[in-house]
Amino acid sequence: MSPRPPIQNQRTRTDKAGIEKTLESVLTRFPRLRERFGQQASTLSGGEQQMMVIGRALMAKPKLLLLDEPSLGIAPKLVQDIARAIVAISRDEKVSVLLVEQNSRMALSISNRAYAMSTGSVVLSGASKELMGDDRIKAAYLGGEL
């Protein structure tokens, strides 16, 4: 059996100028990270850690950004900041975003399309604006009237 060739890491960037440009873009998008740039990640607040995670993902110049509960456990003001950043990333960076989120109001307000799940199955799908007005979504996820 012949030895396998070494695995090439296709996710490692080597373009120093591009890396610096992307880092500057991330720090501009998340000014709080610029303020805390030399700080250990474990000492950042929950919202700041979430911004750092998103920024770190953006450093790889993805075509698709997968976000799992970016609003979980963070202050409402930072939830708004992160929601605005998600919209801007999709628009400005031309990155598709797949958002898994229990904060239904936030998710529906920033997305184009949504899928509601129950016990692992999709029970409702459609345009986010339409689903926000759907009585089934209101009852199940939004706690009644908006």
CA–CA separation, 58 vs 29, rounded Å? Answer: 11
Architecture of the CATH domain 16-111: 3-Layer(aba) Sandwich (3.40)
Instruction: Tell me the longest C-alpha to C-alpha distance in the chain.
Output: 66
Question: Where along the chain do its domains lie?
Answer: 16-111, 113-146
Query: What is the per-residue pLDDT for 13?
Result: 83
- Residue 145's Cβ-side half-sphere holds a number of Cα atoms within 13 Å equal to 0
pTM over 0.85: no
Q: What pLDDT tens digit does each residue of the chain (146 aa) get?
A: 566 665 555 567 889 999 999 999 999 999 999 999 999 999 999 999 999 999 999 999 999 999 999 999 899 888 999 999 999 999 999 999 999 998 888 999 999 999 988 888 898 899 999 998 888 887 777 665 44
- Residue 139's Cβ-side half-sphere holds a number of Cα atoms within 13 Å equal to 4
Q: Give the DSSP H/E element, type plus range, for residue 56.
A: helix 46-58
Please choose, from the candidates 88, 135, 79, the residue with its C-alpha nearest in 3D space to the C-alpha of residue 107: 79
